[in-house]
Structures are given as structure tokens and as C-alpha cells.
Chain A
Amino acid sequence: EDKVVQSPLSLVVHEGDTVTLNCSYEVTNFRSLLWYKQEKKAPTFLFMLTSSGIEKKSGRLSSILDKKELFSILNITATQTGDSAIYLCAGMKTSYDKVIFGPGTSLSVIP
């Protein structure tokens, strides 16, 4: 059965800290790994990863995929209170483009 596991499930850090969020996956017919930030209702797209070892960056956020170890990380440097959110990791399959979501990591950044 396909599954996506994230760790930690929740995290509290101080502003300025660097955090690493983990995502491991077992997804048959794997196509891509997706990261989202969910602050209220709608998840907003962060990254799509398809190849191992190629880091994607957007400002203070970066992510990388290891297709051999079936693992991805999301790094956030110099965290700000606006980074407080749930971060979702998801695996997209090639078959019918189905997406399997992990449970999310709830990040709280305190001043």
C-alpha cells in the first residue's frame, strides 16, 4: 500500500532557527514528490521534485529528493513567524496522476 510518512509531526522553534522537515515515501509508479504549505485551508505549492540530488530553492526554503532512499527534506533557514504552518509532503503516481499525502508537519515559529 502506498504511504508517505513525515517527521516530526510537530515542531516549535524560535525565529531565526533553521529547521529540517523529513518525508519518506513508498509510492508505486512514483512520478514526483510535492511539498505544500498549508496555513488556513488551501495548501499552497512549494516544490516539485522528480530527480535525485537536485536542490530546489525558493528564498529561505530549499528541498532535495533522494530516489534511492525514497526520502526528501525541506529546509527552512532563518525562520520567521510567517513560516508557521503545516507542511505537507505528497507523492504523485504516474497512474491516473493520483497523489498520496503525508500527515503533515505542524511548524510553529515563536518570536
Chain B
Amino acid sequence: SAVISQKPSRDICQRGTSLTIQCQVDSQVTMMFWYRQQPGQSLTLIATANQGSEATYESGFVIDKFPISRPNLTFSTLTVSNMSPEDSSIYLCSVEEGLSNEKLFFGSGTQLSVL
């Protein structure tokens, strides 16, 4: 399976600041996905990042709060803007693999704590 590197691994941030999370894949992929996992909760899809077009956001998530870049087929960033303690979560990037993209694999994750 693809190797998906994500950084930072964890960070502690102050309220009102922004953090950019990077995701690097060792192979070219069409779509990259960004998920959030709030404490004690399951994974929720934030957005789908396609190379060369605007990201597609899920209900409840907006570009101003979670801007995403996808400059090429191996890299994406997610920014968490104007953070509040409610943004404290694990953020995960993921890609599809398999003969017909039937499996989802995850990066190492970013543990974000907002004070």
C-alpha cells in the first residue's frame, strides 16, 4: 500500500491561530481525503481534495475555516484557521487504493490541541 506521511504529528496551539497540516503520498493519487476525529467520536469527512480543482466540502465544513491545497498528485495541505478549543481533534489524510479504489488508507494523523 501507499506510504502516506503526515506532519506535524501533534501540535498544541493557541486560540485564534492557524495550523497547516501536510500530507505526502509516495505515489500519484487522484483524490485525497481529509477527516477529523473529535475526542471519543468516529471519523468525519471534512473534504475531498482533487488536483487542479477546488476541494469539495462536506456539510458543516467551509473553505474559510478549513482551506485545502492540492498542488499536485502526491501532496495536499489542510489548514485549520482561527482555531478554538472545539477544533481539538485528530486530523487524518487518506487515499484510495486497490484495483478499483475500493479501500481507504490513512496517514499517520495529526493530534491537535487548542488551548
Chain A residues with CB under 8 A of B98: 48
Given the interface pairs A41-B111, A42-B107, A97-B31, the reply to whether A92 lies near B42 with Cβ below 8 Å is: no
Chain B residues with CB under 8 A of A45: 1, 103-105
On whether the beta carbons of A42 and B106 are closer than 8 Å, the reply is yes
A36–B1 Cα gap in the complex (Å)?
Answer: 15
Q: Which of A87-111 contact B (CB under 8 A)?
A: 88, 90, 92, 96-99, 101-104
Contact of A90 among B41, B90, B104 (CB under 8 A): B104
Size category, A interface: 20 to 34
A66–B101 Cα gap in the complex (Å)?
Answer: 21
On whether the beta carbons of A32 and B102 are closer than 8 Å, the reply is yes
Size category, B interface: 20 to 34
State whether the Cβ of A34 lies closer than 8 Å to any Cβ in chain B: yes
State whether the Cβ of A31 lies closer than 8 Å to any Cβ in chain B: yes
**Closest CB of chain B to A93's CB: distance in Å?**
11
State whether the Cβ of A75 lies closer than 8 Å to any Cβ in chain B: no
On whether the beta carbons of B42 and A48 are closer than 8 Å, the reply is no
Chain B contact residues, CB within 8 Å of chain A: 1, 9, 31, 33, 41-45, 48, 56, 90, 92, 96, 98, 101-111
Interface pairs (26), CB distance under 8 Å = A34-B104, A36-B106, A41-B90, A41-B111, A42-B92, A42-B106, A42-B108, A43-B43, A43-B92, A43-B106, A45-B1, A45-B103, A45-B104, A45-B105, A48-B98, A48-B103, A50-B102, A88-B43, A90-B43, A90-B104, A92-B104, A97-B96, A99-B45, A99-B104, A101-B43, A101-B44
